[in-house]
Amino acid sequence: MRSLHNIFRLGLKELWSLFRDPVLMGLVIYTFTGAVFAVANGVRTEVRNAAIAVIDEDRSEVSDRLRDAFLPPYFRPAPLIDLNQMGPAMDRGDYSFVLHIPAGFEADLLAGRQPDLLLNVDATAMTLAGNGTAYIRSIVQQELAGFLHSGDTDLPATLIPRAWFNPNLHSSWFFAVMQVIGNVTILSVVLSGAAVIREREHGTIEHLMVMPVTALELMLAKIWANGLVIVSAAVLSLLVVVQGVMGIPVPGSIGVFALGAGVYLFSVTALGIMLATFARTMPQFGLLAIPVFVVLYLLSGGVTPLEAMPEPLHSLMHLSPATHFTSFAQAVLYRGAGLGLVWRELLIVTCIGTVFLALAQSRFRKTMAAAR
Amino acid sequence: MSAEPPAAARLTGVTQRYGAVTALDDVGLTLRPGGVLGLIGPDGVGKSTLLALMAGVRRLQQGRVEVLGGDMADPAHRAACAPRIAYMPQGLGRNLYSTLSVRENVDFFGRLFGQGARERRWRIDELLAGTGLAPFAARPAGKLSGGMKQKLALCCALIHDPDLLILDEPTTGVDPLSRLQFWRLIDRIRARRPGMSIVTATAYMSEAERFDRLVAMEAGQVIASGTPAELRAKTGTETLEEAFIAFLPSDKRGDHATITLPPLPERDGAPAIMAQDLTRRFGDFTAVDHVSFRIEKGEIFGFLGSNGCGKTTTMKMLTGLLDPTEGTAELFGRPVDASDLATRRRVGYMSQSFSLYAELSVRQNLVLHAQLFQFSRDRQRERVADLLERFDLAKVAEARPAHLPLGVRQRLQLAVAVLHEPEMLILDEPTSGVDPVARDRFWALLIGLSRQDGVTIFISTHFMNEAERCDRISLMHAGRVLAVGPPDELRAARGADSLEEAFIDVLRAETETADPDAAPVPQSGQTPSRPRSPLLSVGRLWAFARREGIELLRDRVRLAFALIGPMILMIAVGFGISFDVENLTYATLDRDQSAESRALMRQFEGSRYFSDQGRLTSLAAMEDSLRAGDIRMALVIPPGFGHDLLSGDAPEVALWLDGSNTVRAETARRYAQTAFLDFLVEMSETETGTTPEIYPANLEPRFRYNQSFESAEAIPPGVLMMMLIMIPTMMTALGVVREKELGSITNLYAAPARKLEFLLGKQAPYVAVAMVSFAILVAMLLTVFGLRVQGSAGALVTGALLYVGAATGFGLVISTVVRSQIAAIFGSAIIVMIPTVNFSGMLYPVATLDGVARGIGQGFPALYFRNISAGVFNKGLGFADLWANHLALAGFCLLFWALAAALLRKQEA
């Protein structure tokens, strides 16, 4: 009871400190509005605005028809270029694709000789290269089939893909929510850890440690206060920015998400505090935090699929609370999964957080008192 | 300006306001050349503001400040006379660099003032010898005692032979012996340079006796001025201390009366504090060496000793903040136990440095502590009101401590220490920087607590008149207790007239061989070199860069983080970010159960891209599995699939994808379609023996720059781009704001340095570290990832140099904007990370970005370096193809320098 009271009071103090730094509050707001909006609206993994050029050595009806088939918004208008222009232009990154139609293509096509078309792809852009190639292939085949007046391609059977939860595979749906989660991670690690370092650099930790307050109470106060600000900001961001301004449907329960976010926040703020016990000064902490939040942000399944990761790394990432929370959030928000399906992820996140907290506590007193 | 010699400084009608507080109210005073002017007055009457205005480190609001024959509001005059002024701000060693050695600190200031190597050498030698610091030349400033720090700060101030020396409470918190030495040193310097004028503030009235003229201030106004003798005569008092009190308005004097200590009543029972052979070592340094004492309940026990003699360490061991290396300590008859919360409630502790929350108001700080001690609501209100009244804090109750003078902050700390009415008070120099009236009031309170309530008080102090009010005192030096006893006995034992003499006597007997008073007086006939201040001095730039570099090199942990962090990330992200999706989990709902449907399933099972999770029984089961995330994809084969296929009825197979991750879903769709076509071809081959012509033409993709189309080729050059902006930005982002938080920014304000020199100097060491990191990362790309420098190595290195220049420049811009280090860390994390990862072509090509995102990407340096990095590693390009990117990066460097220089203030508000 006394403990809860202390945790509550110290947490209120923490909130004061946050609100007293207008630049910091401005950054928090930007993180959950502007940053989410810019990324979700700007980044596309579907083929869009792809830059393609055509080398037409055939100059035939079919080659014209192919060139006209690349339409906006998927492609930018395809210019005609010469073969010797291709190298430099692709080097500069002017075009991601160059379709090369060889001389005699139409004749070979009509004669049924199955001629070759060459597609040059800038493979340094991994996301676009793969999907774009598949997309261009299907456009080309459709056009050729149309040209040969055979209506649709006459395959013996067809595969009809349908995407659940996001029927048109709008990448903005994915990025909006993942951006919120990624920013939650960065914010929690940095804010909680830096709050500890600041108290140490200003000597206030030392003062608290002669008060009837335990290290655990101190840490839990930081966790709830920073957690509350961040969870509120994240939920507001989902409701106002993602659903409201961007009009992205979020089929799942925001309530379940908020609960999970609370659990996750416990885990990552504990991580931030633990990191703070390894650094002596703010510059050290800043540098220590970078690798941690970059890995959590990039490798938790929110940017690239977890399945694609090579083995030791793939298993290692399961030690990260962010991995479990990302999969929790995807299940809850996109797929409308209820607590019954995702409780295991939450349990794991809690366990990982508890380990961080225990480690932090075991180091806390020693490292804090030895300050200066 | 006729017959009178020009004044060293003349202030007229100076008024300064901060919010509702008037710091200075129409102040006028004159400092004669060669004179020593002392400012005395209670805390917070505007002494520090006045000195800062004279030094030109604060912006003048109203009135006129003339120093050394010019107007300090004029930037040109400030720049011209900065080399002739020396300013020592308040606080022990606040403008020193704690990781730099004594010699390096002085050397830095010498460089700032443009002195050559030879000149610096003899000047430093002379100053260190004169101050007795010579034996400690190699010791880091952070490990010096308070008195030595102040002497070092004085050396730094005197290195350029200033004409005006401005000292803000230089001896506050310094022990009597060091104080004596400090002023003797000043006297000797004055004897050598009679033209030098000095203006100083002090809290010690005994020191004020030494000054030519005194100015007594109160509430932002000058209330009296004259020689010490004149002031005493005016009030008819014997000592300055009494004169000072007499000058105060009657309401400020309060119930001031001479403090007397009633005898200690006999008490029995266990002692309050027992220490037995208490010892604490830090590495091979013994801070406290077998200290033993016993303090009775209700006793006032004074702890005296030179700075850094182990007083603070002893106190920390008693509070449980530090564990003793050897020996035991008992409070209330029980061993000190760090986890014993009950004992903590019975003890009040006040640390030497301010340790309350600067972001909470005075009242909020008190309320927070009352709450932590579980006071009831009524008692909280009552107690806080009482303390605000008793410690004279009511007027500043809503102010934040950050904006209050040292003395007021000390009073607040005291109020907090006694708030919960503890049975024991452990007070570490509680009255340093507090004015005499407040000190007396505080002592009256302590004596009341001790004698009426039986509170045990363990207090350290540098004021001898305070020591005389203790029941017993102990003299400590170099970790050992030299003498313990009642003040009178100690004095008598030394045969001294005053306790101060006795104290100095004991210390002298103990202190090192080199008595600085015996050292030769600095004798230099040479005039200091005062080169004209050029627009950009390479020497000063180098002074800043060198200092920053030394600090960085000394901080091994930071250096290690800065170099190892990117290596770990290169491995993790370089391998971890991959769009080569494999092992996609899927399941099949086979409603046909024919040979053909099984053949289709075999086709999927055989692919390395897919990982079979078994059969589904219904659409509902499929939905559940997708929802739970057990499978990413489901294949639904309709009834009659085999039959329709063979009879040419073109059956349709449904492929359900988990759309929650669009990247994965798109890739899965692509793989599935390929596998399905392969199935059709194989079916046709087995059924008819011919390869069907599914398409009229073949589309052959040729992946340029990354033939095997592997993420491990395309991503690492992007990681290089990411690391070279995140780490350098983070390092410089803390640079300026940290100096603001810790106080050394004053050196920039006071020195004749230009903003650009300061900024470039700060930047240079981090550019160097970033280039080392660049070399390591490139080596990793070549070995671990097997990439080759296919294009021009020169273009890569030049690009990297420009890029880290822009990155560190951006960090400086952040640093000049934000107020706190937290905001700097957070800002450089989030502002840099988002455009770098998303809008700079590392994961998603810039050409596909829309609107705002594209604009952000193009307005940020990362994109251009990624073009260079990918161009050189993947595409084999050189300068001829990439020069536009180099140009853009150079432009960013210039832009960020201009921005940082425009945003950096050269004066305090």
The average confidence (pLDDT) of chain A is 86
Residues B137 and B201 in one domain: yes
Q: What pLDDT does A272 receive?
A: 94
Same domain, B245 and B316: no
Exposure b/e, B791-809, CB count within 10 A at least 16 = b = bbeebbbbbbbbbbbbbbb
Give the range among A12-21, A226-235, B547-556 with minimum mean pLDDT. A12-21
Q: Is B282 left (phi over 0), alpha (psi -120 to 50) or beta?
A: beta
One domain for residues A230 and A97: no
Residues A39 and A98 in one domain: no
How close B895 gets to chain A, by Cα (Å)? 22
Residues A249 and A330 in one domain: yes
Residue B691: CB atoms within 10 Å: 10
DSSP letter at A240? I
Residue A164: inside a domain, yes or no? Answer: no
Residues A210 and A125 in one domain: no
Helices (H), B659-790: 662-688, 711-714, 716-742, 746-750, 755-783
B637 and B740 in a single domain? The answer is: no
For residue B584, the chain A residues in CB contact (below 8 A) are: 307
Q: Tell whether B233 is covered by a domain.
A: yes
**Whether residue B145 is found in the same domain as residue B286:** no
Residue B517 lies in a domain: no
Instruction: With CB atoms and an 8 Å threshold, state whether B582 touches A286.
Output: no
Q: How many domains does chain B have?
A: 4
- Better pLDDT: B485 or B684: B485
B643 occurs within a structural domain = yes
Asked, for residue B128, whether it belongs to a domain, the answer is yes
A119, A229: one domain: no
Q: Which residues of B touch A125 (CB under 8 A)?
A: 714, 841, 844-845
In a domain, B263, yes or no: no
Is there a single domain that holds both residue B127 and residue B23? yes
Q: What are phi and psi of A155, to 5 degrees?
A: -80, 150
Mean local confidence (pLDDT), A34-63: 86
Q: Do B738 and A16 touch (CB under 8 A)?
A: no
pLDDT confidence of residue B373: 87
What average pLDDT does the segment B306-315 reach? 82
Residues B390 and B245 in one domain: no
Q: Note the pLDDT of residue A372.
A: 40
Domain that holds residue B320: 273-510
Q: What is the mean pLDDT of residues B875-896?
A: 92
Cα–Cα distance between B409 and B406 in angstroms, integer? Answer: 5
- Please report whether residue B39 resides in a domain: yes
| B661–A330 CB contact, under 8 Å | yes
Provide the chain B residues 177-196 that lie in CB contact (below 8 A) with chain A: none
Chain B residues 661-680 with CB within 8 Å of chain A: 661-667, 669-670, 672-673, 676, 680
B321: contact with A, CB 8 A cutoff? yes
Does a structural domain hold residue A276?
Answer: yes
**Antiparallel, parallel or unpaired: β B633-637 and B652-658:** antiparallel
DSSP annotation of B263: P
Residue B863 confidence (pLDDT): 92
pLDDT in tens, A130-146: 888 888 888 888 888 88
Answer yes or no: do A267 and A314 share one domain.
yes
B59, two tokens: 């912006």
In whole angstroms, give the CA distance from residue B873 to residue B792: 9
Residue A155 maps to a domain: no
Q: What CATH number is associated with residue B382? A: 3.40.50.300
Q: What is the pLDDT of residue A262?
A: 93
Confidence band for B723, pLDDT divided at 50, 70 and 90: very high
φ, ψ (nearest 5 deg) of residue B332: 50, 35
The residue from A147, A181, A213 where one domain ends is A147
Find, in chain A, the residue whose alpha carbon is nearest to that of B701: A119
Q: How many domains does chain A have?
A: 2
Asked whether residue B562 falls in the same domain as residue B591, the answer is: no
Lowest mean pLDDT among A163-172, B152-161, B514-523: B514-523
What's the average model confidence in pLDDT over B667-682? 87
| pLDDT at residue B58, as a whole number | 87
pLDDT of residue B677: 86
Convert the pLDDT of each residue in B768-803 to its tens digit. 999 999 999 999 999 998 888 888 999 999 999 999
Do B500 and B568 reside in the same domain of the chain?
no
Structural domain including A332 reads: 2-43+170-369
Residues of B in contact with A50 (CB under 8 A): 847-848
Whether residues A211 and B369 touch (CB distance < 8 A) is answered with yes
The answer to whether residue B728 scores a pLDDT higher than 60 is: yes
How many inter-chain contacts (A to B, CB under 8 Å) are there? 479
CA distance A177 to chain B (A): 10
Task: Indicate whether B300 and B205 sit together in one domain.
Answer: no
- Of the listed ranges B11-20, B366-375, B756-765, the one predicted with least confidence: B11-20
Contacts of B671 in chain A (CB under 8 A): none
Q: What is the pTM (predicted TM-score) of this model?
A: 0.86
Contact A21 B820 (CB under 8 A): yes
Do B478 and B551 lie in one domain? The reply is no
> Is residue A59 located within the same domain as residue A14?
no
Last residue in a domain, options A147, A182, A217? A147
Instruction: Compare CB distances from A145 to B557, B696, B734 and report the shortest one's residue.
Output: B696
Q: Within this chain, do residues A84 and A176 fall inside the same structural domain, yes or no?
A: no
- Predicted local confidence at residue B511, as pLDDT: 64
pLDDT value, residue B780: 94
List pLDDT tens digits, range A261-306: 999 999 999 999 999 999 888 899 999 999 999 999 988 887 777 7
Cα separation, A124 vs B709, whole angstroms: 8
What tokens were used for B402?
Answer: 């950050």
Written as six digits, the tokens of B99 are 């990781």
Is the same domain home to B672 and B818? no
With a cut of 60, say whether residue B514 has pLDDT above it: no
B427 pairs with which residues across the strands?
A: B350, B459
Residue B763: the pLDDT is 93
Q: What are B428's strand-pairing partners?
A: B460
Whether residue B211 is found in the same domain as residue B346: no
Asked whether residue A215 is domain-assigned, the answer is yes
Whether residues A39 and A69 share a domain: the answer is no
Overall average pLDDT of the A157-183 stretch: 84
Q: Min CA distance, A335 vs chain B (Å)?
A: 5
Residues constituting chain B: 909
Q: Is the pLDDT of residue B515 over 70?
A: no
Can you tell me the mean pLDDT for A343-349?
91
How many Å lie between the alpha carbon of A306 and the closest alpha carbon of chain B? 9
Of all residues in chain A, the percent with pLDDT exceeding 70 is 97
Q: Are residues A123 and A183 in the same domain?
A: no
One domain for residues A192 and A257: yes
Read off φ and ψ for residue B350, nearest 5 degrees: -125, 120
Computed on alpha carbons and rounded to an integer, the radius of gyration of chain B in Å comes to: 37
CB contact under 8 A, B573 and A295: yes
Per-position DSSP letters for A173-210, written without gaps between them: HHHHHHHHHHHHHHHHHHHHHHHHHHHHHTTHHHHHTT
- Is A120 part of a structural domain of the chain? yes
Single out the residue in A113, A147, A181 at which a domain terminates: A147
Q: Does residue B742 carry a pLDDT above 50?
A: yes
Q: Which contiguous run of DSSP H or E holds residue B124?
A: helix B117-131
- Given CB atoms, is B883 within the 8 Å cutoff of chain A? no
Q: Is the pLDDT of residue B69 over 90?
A: no
* Residue A339, in any domain of the structure: yes
**Looking at the structure, do residues A203 and A115 belong to the same domain, yes or no?**
no
- Within-domain flag for A154: no
Percent pLDDT > 90 in chain B is 21
Task: Give the least confident one: A83-87, B152-156, B192-196, B885-889.
Answer: B192-196
Question: Is pLDDT above 90 for B190?
Answer: no
| Interatomic CA distance for residues A292 and B174, integer angstroms | 44
